Amino acid sequence: MVHSRKKPVIGLLGGIGSGKSTVARMFGRLGCGVIDADALAHEALERPDVKCRILELLGPEALGRDGRIDRGRVAQAVFVDGPKLASLTAIVHPAVLAEAEAMMETYRRDSRIRAIVLDMPLLVEVGWHEKCDRLIFVRCDREKRLERAKNKDSAKKNDFEIRENLQISLDRKMQLADNIVENNSDESALASQIADIFSNIVANI
């Protein structure tokens, strides 16, 4: 990992529904600039060029009633089809990563930002963990993660398992992490862990 930057880059790892976005918000309150890859993917789907290529790949079934790309329909179509998932990734990820790069540069120039946090579900899969000075794994019991994922996007248990199996194993991600935080109790306990880790990060810049 890189350790030469003046403004540290913190990458978040963890399973689906583990609470990475909650952790990212907590870092944001501590003065970090957060890059939310899911939000960037939402924005990418609004781009005419991206929308056109997705329709070429999946057909009109990818559209919702409002005429926009429906993420739920897209997910159902690709998570059971490896080649289609690879094609979708090739369409959406370049746009997401380019915007993330631009945001990182903006945050680096902003003196108010103390560190940069990457909340990116496929951080390791796309190799962006190499850009990070500190990797933090958010550990959470599987049943709690499944419940959170269902509450978030009405995911079925089968969908959850398919999506998780397409990603690098959690054991491997935990091995890559510099810190592990526990997210099985309340948010105050989590916030305390994040504050301690952040204090350590800024003390070692």
Q: How far apart are CA 202 and CA 33, in angstroms?
A: 14
Q: Is residue 122 part of a domain?
A: yes
Q: Is residue 86 part of a domain?
A: no
Q: Is residue 51 part of a domain?
A: no
Q: Is residue 142 part of a domain?
A: yes
Q: Is residue 167 part of a domain?
A: yes
* Residue-number span of the structural domain to which 109 is assigned: 9-38+95-203
- Any idea what the CATH number is for the domain that residue 121 is in? 3.40.50.300
Residue 136 Ramachandran class (φ > 0 left, ψ -120 to 50 alpha, else beta) = beta
Q: Is residue 60 part of a domain?
A: no
Report pLDDT digits (tens) over 32-56: 999 999 999 999 999 999 999 999 9
Helix (H) or strand (E) segment spanning residue 13: strand 9-14
Report pLDDT digits (tens) over 68-110: 999 888 988 887 788 898 899 899 999 999 999 999 999 999 9
Q: Is residue 137 part of a domain?
A: yes
Q: Is residue 160 part of a domain?
A: yes
Number of domains within the chain: 1
In degrees, rounded to 5, the angle at the alpha carbon of residue 153 between the alpha carbons of residues 46 and 65 is 45
Mean pLDDT of 15-23: 93
